[in-house]
Structures are given as C-alpha cells and as structure tokens.
Chains A and B, each alone.
Chain A
Amino acid sequence: EAQVTQNPRYLITVTGKKLTVTCSQNMNHEYMSWYRQDPGLGLRQIYYSMNVEVTDKGDVPEGYKVSRKEKRNFPLILESPSPNQTSLYFCASGLAGESTDTQYFGPGTRLTVL
C-alpha cells in the first residue's frame, strides 16, 4: 500500500530534550516536506526537500532541522524543543516535476512540549 508513515503519532516531552520525528514514504517520491498545523493558523510549511541531500526552508523553519540522506526518509529534528513547538505535524511526499496536487500526507504527529 502506497503511504507516508510518521512516528511517533503522539509524543509528550519536556523543554530542551532533543527529539526526532521520523517520516518515511514507499512511493519513490523525490519531494518531501514537513508542515505544522496550529489552531487559527492553518498549515505552515517548515522545510521541504526536492531530492536526496537537497533541503530548503519553508515559512517557519526556526527551531527545526531536517536531513535527507535517503530518498524514502525525511526526519524532522528538534534539537531543543520549546513549548511553542507544541503542534500537530504532517509529513508529505510527492513526485518532483509535477504539480503540488500530487502531494500525499502522512497521518500526523501530535507533539506536546511541556
């Protein structure tokens, strides 16, 4: 089954404790992206990657890091999480060179930073 998976789905952590949210896709997509969804703010793009070893900032990259060492994986790293990073996070993937309507979203990771 073609899908985007995220782990963990739920995470409660404390300020300053480094964490990684993994994202993996099995569709051989070049493009991957991370978004956060907050009440009253909608979806905001954090980082995206057009291919292995190619990443770019979205609208809200501060406090986050990403890496794209393999095509299928695009982990989101919070080196020192803070409470304002409490949010619902979505990973997405798609084929490069096509319009963005071919993006497939994962089920989401709900992160709480205390």
Chain B
Amino acid sequence: DQQVKQNSPSLSVQEGRISILNCDYTNSMFDYFLWYKKYPAEGPTFLISISSIKDKNEDGRFTVFLNKSAKHLSLHIVPSQPGDSAVYFCAANSAREGSNYKLTFGKGTLLTVNP
C-alpha cells in the first residue's frame, strides 16, 4: 500500500516555462512534506519542504503548495532551466507518530527541461 504517490513517472517542459510536479498521500497522520532532487549517480539532495500548518512555501524559483483536504501537494518550478532536469521525489513523515525521521518516499518523477 503506497502512502505517497507520484503518478507521473516523467514530465517534459520547455526551458523558461513552468514545471508542475504532483504528489498525493493517503496517510492523514503525515504532517511534514519534502521534495528531494536526484541527479544520476548522485544521492538525493533536499530541495524544499512544507509543514501541514502551511499551504505554501517558496524558495526562489521553487514553490510547494499543500492542499490538506485533498491530501495533495505540488512543486512548481518557475522558470524551468535545463539544469533542473532530474528525478524529483516527494516524501512525507509524521512527527505526531513519534518519529521525525521515518520518511516515506514516492516513486519519483523524471523532469526533463528542454532548451
């Protein structure tokens, strides 16, 4: 039973346009959500996060939106750059369940930004 779902295995966008990556979750106990970025032959690196008490968090070109009622979050990248081409993982955890560190990841979405 997959608790964090990224239903789009891949996404292709043009440089300068907006990239929107989606993530859905089923566990209502999740209260902290993260996006990680992964280049080939490297480990994932943290990109941006959001707590369940917020519905939006921005960091430069990256914005994460959280819709708790729909159990849905999305990552917006504006404008997209070729260097953003990578696999993006959505992850979640539940501090309320007593573990800040038991992360559950989605399957990932491969973003390709074309010049």
Contact = CB atoms under 8 A, between A and B. Distances in A.
Interface of A: 4, 31, 33, 35, 40-45, 48, 50, 56, 58-59, 90, 92, 94, 96, 99-108
Interface residues on B, range: 20 to 34
Contact of B107 (A40, A94, A105): A40
Contacts of A41: 107
Identify which of A50, A105, A106 gathers the most chain B CB atoms within 10 Å of its CB: A105
B105 A99 contact: no
Contact of A108 (B32, B41, B46, B49): B41
A42 B106 contact: yes
The 4 closest A-B pairs by CB, nearest first: A105-B43, A42-B107, A43-B105, A101-B49
Contacts of B46: 101-103
A64 to B, nearest CB: 15
